[in-house]
Amino acid sequence: MERMLVVVFGNESLAYEGKKVLEKLDIDGYLTVYRHAMVMKNADGTITVREGDDRGPFGLLVGTALGSLIGVLGGLAGIGIGGTIGLVAGGAVDLHDARVAEDFIDDVAKALLPNRAAVVAEIEEDATDPVDTQMEAIGGTVFRRGLSEVKHTIQDEHIAAIKADLAQIKAEHAQARAERKAKLQENINQLDSRLQELLQKAKERREAAQREARAKAEFLKVKAAIAKAKAAETHI
């Protein structure tokens, strides 16, 4: 099952250890790590990304569910850049894009207090015991939640509502007196501008979801090929 994983630790050193544990679990085949990062909650409440995944396209957090989660936890203005990572969520961060429920983020935020650190990751796992056992053994508190499908229901409803408003106001404009037409045209222009913004955002989300699905499929294909090659070497 595809999940968002967050493991909170009491300090940065333990979080680095947790990151190594996660990477080893991936290598040993207990789970698949699509992308991950180690983050630090600063004394002022902001979030700094200490180290990120640099394997292929998943090293970039911008525009991903993981990047959105980090952005929501840190606040729009509260995200720093540090360590080896070069990119972190920039611009507007939408809770919807994190693909996890608000209660999950609340639970993580309550545990990730100032001066604590966490390993955050998008993973695929069939069993929770390997992660839980090893992370808890080094002092980690594990949070996980299945990632929701990429949906556009709310946005589609907003688009439909604006289209309905536009149709009504345009009908009024056609019947209005001259002195009223200018105000109605102003309303039409504003609604049309907002509609175009929503349509563009919906298009970008669809394209991003398609790119991510293709990239994950390719990632799994490469990982399977590497595993097959290693297995062949052991039989030589």
Q: What is the pLDDT of residues 55-71, one digit of tens each?
A: 433 345 655 788 888 88
How confident is the model at residue 218, as a pLDDT?
Answer: 85
Question: Alpha-carbon distance 32 to 121, whole Å?
Answer: 10
Give SS3 for 61: coil
pLDDT, tens digit (0-9, with 9 covering 90-100), for 106-165: 889 899 999 999 999 999 888 889 999 999 999 999 998 887 655 555 567 668 878 888
Overall pTM > 0.75: no
How confident is the model at residue 153, as a pLDDT?
Answer: 54
Question: Alpha-carbon distance 114 to 110, whole Å?
Answer: 10
Question: Alpha-carbon distance 65 to 32, whole Å?
Answer: 16
Token digits for 210?
Answer: 């398609």
pLDDT exceeds cutoff 90 at 53? no
pLDDT exceeds cutoff 60 at 88? no
For CA atoms 139, 141, 147, 152, give the dihedral sign: negative
Share of the chain above pLDDT 70, in %: 80
